[in-house]
Structure 1
Amino acid sequence: MSSPFSFAAVAMLATCASVAAHSADLSVVFVHPETFRDAIYSRPYGGEQERAPVLRDIERHLRQLADRGLPPGDSLRIEVLDIDLAGWFEPFRYRTYPDIRILREVTWPRIQLRYTLTRGDQLLSSAEERVSDLIYLMTVNRYPVGDRLRYEKAMLDDWFDRRIVKPAEHG
């Protein structure tokens, strides 16, 4: 008779093997992140240390999208050229509320990127584009209010479905 521990260990190994087997072939590169327009969560200006969490979270989300929607055998390379998060830090409110990002209709999220989607040696899709969501405050958003990238994630979900999943299905 096996112990509950050994069963749990086997289940965990099987899950890890399954995840590793289905891990998408994705490459994400942030090109000159020091020049990104607005890639910091908590204040209007900062350095590499303040940008790191945003870049990590965007890469993590792109990886989740690829793991979920990129067919086996397809490869996706994404170069992020610029990030402008939804909202901004208003200078006249900065002294009172330094870490509050104000969301307005004119401060929509934008990410400029270049991508290449391939299947083996065949090029399925490639472009450079500015992904944005001008009506981000009026659309249904499935991400929780406390998610710091909720608008960017919804925008990237839509972009990924239109540009990556659909061409891969028809490629």
Structure 2
Amino acid sequence: MHTVLRCAMLMALSLHSMAHAAPAAQVEVRFDHPEQFRDASLGSHGHVRGADAYVMKTLTRYLQKLGRRYLQPGQRLAIDIRDIDLAGRFEPWHGQAYGVRFMRDISWPTIDLSYTLSQAGKPDRQARERVSDRMYLSRPGRLTGSDDRLYAEKTMLDDWFRQRFAARPSF
């Protein structure tokens, strides 16, 4: 009987502490006129400007995942993506590789964005940035056989997110 009572008390205490804990970090991603983005489509073969739903959904989910990893409880990050230029280019003159993105030194990924980081009791932190990775072809792990078509963009965003928002150890 004592064991059941202890378990019930521990459960009640943990529920009480969870109710009073800071809310989880949140990331909201918005796309500002995605139909005008330079190169954010994996299926248009470079002929149509704009972002496709797959790219927007994948990047939104990835940024939210980074928020869960790096933001502190109670922080809220709103990201407005203003333009995307994916890594690589379609080169339609390659007859047998019409739908292939060719990765070259001059076709690095770039994302123009602005963000607002909010947290209770602190002033909002805002910035507008161009996130790019000119060295995307030299990154370790790039040739591991990953079939992720947005590998370069995700790696670039991971570095950017960690540098801007990861908790810094206090010494």
Using the size of structure 2 for normalisation, the TM-score is 0.77
User: Is the Cα contact below 8 Å between 1:80 and 1:114 reproduced in 2?
Assistant: yes
Deviations 1:87-120 (A, max 9, x none): 0101322x43221000001100000000111111
- Runs of 4+ aligned residues of structure 1 deviating over 4 Å after TM superposition are none
More helix as a share of residues: 1
Q: What is the alpha-carbon distance in structure 2 between the residues aligned to residue 166 and residue 24 of structure 1?
A: 13
Give the aligned residue type for 1:105. Answer: D
User: Is the Cα contact below 8 Å between 1:24 and 1:63 reproduced in 2?
Assistant: no
Displacement after TM superposition at 1:46 (Å): 4.0
Q: Does 1:45 align with 2:62?
A: no
Q: Compared with structure 1, are the counterparts of its residues 141 and 81 closer, same or farther at alpha carbon in structure 2 (3 Å cutoff)?
A: farther
SS at the partner of 1:81?
Answer: strand
> Residues 25-36 of structure 1: matches in 2 within 5 Å?
25-36=26-37
Q: What is the alpha-carbon distance in structure 1 between the residues aligned to residue 145 and residue 151 of structure 2?
A: 7
Q: What is the alpha-carbon distance in structure 1 between the residues aligned to residue 58 and residue 118 of structure 2?
A: 24
Q: What is the alpha-carbon distance in structure 2 between the residues aligned to residue 144 and residue 128 of structure 1?
A: 34
User: Is the Cα contact below 8 Å between 1:85 and 1:110 reproduced in 2?
Assistant: yes
Gaps of 5+ in 2: 1-21
User: Is the Cα contact below 8 Å between 2:108 and 2:135 reproduced in 1?
Assistant: yes
Q: What is the alpha-carbon distance in structure 1 between the residues aligned to residue 71 and residue 82 of structure 2?
A: 22
Q: What root-mean-square deviation, in Å, do the aligned CA atoms of Structure 1 and Structure 2 show?
A: 2.5
User: Is the Cα contact below 8 Å between 1:117 and 1:124 reproduced in 2?
Assistant: yes
Give the aligned residue type for 2:87. Answer: A
Q: What is the alpha-carbon distance in structure 2 between the residues aligned to residue 28 and residue 119 of structure 1?
A: 17
Partner of 2:62: 61
Q: What is the alpha-carbon distance in structure 2 between the residues aligned to residue 83 and residue 35 of structure 1?
A: 9
- Considering only CA atoms, is the larger Rg found in Structure 1 or Structure 2? 2
User: Is the Cα contact below 8 Å between 2:29 and 2:81 reproduced in 1?
Assistant: yes
Give the aligned residue type for 1:73. Answer: G
User: Is the Cα contact below 8 Å between 1:108 and 1:134 reproduced in 2?
Assistant: yes
**Percentage identity across paired residues of the two chains:** 41
User: Is the Cα contact below 8 Å between 1:38 and 1:85 reproduced in 2?
Assistant: yes
Partner of 1:13: none
Using the size of structure 1 for normalisation, the TM-score is 0.77
Displacement after TM superposition at 1:145 (Å): 2.3
